[in-house]
Amino acid sequence: MKSIENTDVYDLLNRLKKLNAIGIALSSEKNSKRLLERILEAAKTLTYADGGTLYSYNKEQDALTFEIMMTETLNIRKGGTSGETINLPPIPLHDEQGHANMHMVAACAAITESTINIPDAYQETRFEFSGMRKFDAAMNYRSVSFLTVPMKDYQNEIIGVLQLINATNPETGIIHPFTEWEQELVESLASQAAVALVNQRFVEEQKVLFEAFIKLIAGAIDDKSPYTGGHCSRVPALTMMLAEATVRADYGPQEIREFTMSEEDRYELWVAGMLHDCGKITTKEYVVDKGTKLETIFDRIHLVDLRFELLKRDAEIALLKQQIAAHQQGTVFNETEPQAAFAHYCQTLDEERAFVRKANIGGEFMAEADQHQLRQIAQRRWRAPDGQEQPLLFNDQECEELFYPNKPNENRPAEDLRHFKGELENLCIAKGTLRDKERKHINYHINATINMLEALPYPKNLARVPEFAGGHHERMDGKGYPKQLTREQMSVQARAMGIADVFEALTAGDRPYKKAMPLSVALTILGRMKQDNHIDPDLFNVFIHEKVYEEYARQYLQPEQIDTVDITQLPGYEAIQ
């Protein structure tokens, strides 16, 4: 039984089934270049066309850009994923005067928003086909039938043009004009393809917007302090290096050997890395930037220096007053002993000032004897401009009285850390430059990070971002923060980010409290942290054996930091058997 235009009904039904299957396949394609190829391939399949071209509309240029070209008999495949570039200029829809380009068939279809079906291009007089004829002559080919279909989005705006060449009888190989129902099939396909393209474009635009927002947040955090610039971009980079190395690793426990990542997994981990410190947006700058123990808005060591100078000034004034008094009384003043005492006093003050300045820098450990000496120095008194005596080094209580005179404790803002700025207590900090209250304030950034990230409505492929990002301050023994998670409670990705965060901090040259460490020193500390059950031991092994540290060093460390590393001498090193 035959149907319209003597076409076998079963062939028509078969093509309709293909159209339905093609629509489903197009909606699931995620690669933009591959999607364009599948659209053209599908159109060729439905019509048994020998060749075709797919154009995209460039609104800024007001032109059709060649995306995909295919011709089966000539074995031509260009554009898309083929790796071969289409070296043809875009087809403008209007000239410089704004006149419509109606002599080019693809442009005309786009401008009129209507399908153009040409039975024989060599008999066609409406359009310019000189370029086609040159091509045919050069390739010993003959372009006969053309079907050019515009593709429009949901707003009825042109997004591209689909053009097919030489509809062919699959049994005889004879070229024939595109039939009316073949045109309808391609128009239906073009409509489905437009939906797929718009959806994919929308997803890609949302992804671009999302990534731009992520980079904006990370950049704002890095810009918030001159001492953390680049941290939010270096940590995800190092995390990805370690994760990729773990994918390659074919040794170690089963968890490491079987670890894999899809492209979606990689993207999810990158997002988590970029946002791992987003909570720092809540951290006060004068705590983050505290490069010395006495630093707030500025380093108060200069005020202490001034007080030492005032003590020497007062001592000198007292000595001069003694001389004047003796002169006025007409007595002989023996300067030898007072001058010697004054010189000794000034020398003592200079030594104490040098000691205080050294204590202000901070370090890995401060002895109790040094802290006791600071308390002794703090007992000195100096006279302020108002004539009142004040301590050489203020303690917390005295600082509170300066900042909040006659103000009850309950009326002071709880989040304000200024009343913990006692000079004596700060100078006695045993490790680093931060008081316990300040360290807790900085540590809170991870709680803020988790709260912020868990508040976002993630798609399925990003659901683990809070877990990956929120675990980089946890320890394998459960002594980290904020949730005291153990190794077994954390994903490989979260543990990898923990190592990346530590190693970046050790090697960074933009911290206010330390210099950039050489590679060998940073790896030694990292090895000790493995021994202390601070970082994941298996990922540490991957970090060393896959030379992730070298890859990172080449890209991010200063040349003077990259020294010789003997991995066999690293603490915690385990050779691969």
Of 39, 16, 23, which Cα lies nearest the Cα of 163?
A: 39
What is the model's pLDDT at position 1? Answer: 31
Mean pLDDT, 10 residues at a time, the chain of 577 residues: 49 65 67 82 89 93 95 93 91 93 96 96 92 93 96 88 94 92 88 81 84 84 68 92 96 94 95 89 76 80 91 90 84 82 93 93 86 93 85 84 61 51 86 83 84 89 94 94 94 97 86 76 95 96 96 94 93 84
Helices 492-507/548-556 angle, 10° precision = 50
Cβ contacts of residue 133 below 8 Å, gap of 6+?
A: 122
CA distance 494 to 510: 25
Residue 298, phi-psi category: left (phi > 0), alpha (psi -120 to 50), beta (remainder): beta
What is the model's pLDDT at position 143? Answer: 95
Cβ contacts of residue 295 below 8 Å, gap of 6+?
A: 286, 289, 433, 512
Q: Are 333 and 323 in contact (CB under 8 A)?
A: yes
Using CB atoms within 10 Å of the CB of residue 342, give its burial: 0 to 12 exposed, 13 to 18 middle, 19+ buried: middle
Residue showing tokens 């008094």: 325
Q: Which helix (H) or strand (E) holds 406?
A: none
Cβ contacts of residue 528 below 8 Å, gap of 6+?
A: 571, 572
What is the model's pLDDT at position 3? Answer: 41
Q: For residue 412, what are the CA distances in angstroms to 403, 438, 544?
A: 10, 17, 50
What is the model's pLDDT at position 74? Answer: 95
Query: In the chain, what's the furthest Cα-to-Cα distance?
Result: 143
Encoded amino acid at 309, one letter = E
Q: What are phi and psi of 129, to 5 degrees?
A: -125, 25
Q: Are 64 and 90 in contact (CB under 8 A)?
A: yes
What is the model's pLDDT at position 509? Answer: 72
Where are the extended beta strands (E) located within 33-183? 49-58, 63-71, 76-79, 91-92, 116-118, 146-152, 158-168, 175-176
Cβ contacts of residue 532 below 8 Å, gap of 6+?
A: none
Preceding omega of 537 cis (within 30 degrees of 0):
no
What is the model's pLDDT at position 416? Answer: 52
Preceding omega of 236 cis (within 30 degrees of 0):
no
What is the model's pLDDT at position 24? Answer: 64
CA distance 15 to 437: 73
Encoded amino acid at 564, one letter = T
Q: What would the DSSP string read from start to end of 190-233?
A: HHHHHHHHHHHHHHHHHHHHHHHHHHHHHHHHHHH-TTSTTHHH
Structure tokens belonging to residue 126: 């409406």
Structure tokens belonging to residue 43: 């159109």
Where are the extended beta strands (E) located within 284-421? 381-383, 389-391
Structure tokens belonging to residue 541: 């092994």
What is the set of domains in the chain, with CATH numbers? 4-203 (3.30.450.40), 225-274+462-569 (1.10.3210.10), 301-433 (no CATH)
Helices 537-545/231-248 angle, 10° precision = 90
Of 362, 368, 427, which Cα lies nearest the Cα of 392?
A: 427
* Cα dihedral 505→511→516→519 (10° resolution): 0
Q: Which helix (H) or strand (E) holds 358?
A: helix 336-361
CA distance 69 to 86: 8
CA distance 186 to 163: 10
What stretches of 29-162 show up as alpha helix (H) in DSSP? 32-47, 105-112, 130-139
Structure tokens belonging to residue 343: 């010189």
For residue 456, how many other CB atoms are within 10 A of its CB?
10
Cβ contacts of residue 289 below 8 Å, gap of 6+?
A: 225, 226, 227, 295, 512
CA distance 211 to 2: 56
Say whether 172 sits in a helix, a strand or coil. Answer: coil
